Amino acid sequence: MNDNAAAAGSVRAVLTGLPQRLVLDGLVDESAMLDAIANARERKTHLVSWLVSHDMASARDIAIAAAQEFGMPLLDLDAVAPDLDTVRVVNEK
């Protein structure tokens, strides 16, 4: 087993889901992720919010990783030019 396979195996043993994906994709170091999970739980906040607010990963990178992890398409709202006349018609409530 090579070093990458061994490292991936150790990550899989501890992390699952999106945290695992972020570590395997190299966006967050494994020990930093474990600390982030503990801190987010302790402060009763969402992990993604914690990671973004502490500059551990960008919201865009997390969104891309989540789309890949969960097999869902990613809609980049920055790439959409809304029709402003339509937006004005929609009530804020």
Provide the domain count of the chain.
1
Q: Which domain holds residue 66?
A: 3-89
At 59-78, the pLDDT tens digits run: 999 999 999 999 999 998 88
The 10s digit of each residue's pLDDT in 14-70 is 899 999 999 999 999 999 999 999 999 999 999 999 999 999 999 999 999 999 999
Say which residues have a Cβ less than 8 Å from residue 65's Cβ, sequence separation at least 6: 18, 21, 22, 25, 27
Q: What pTM was estimated for this model as a whole?
A: 0.70
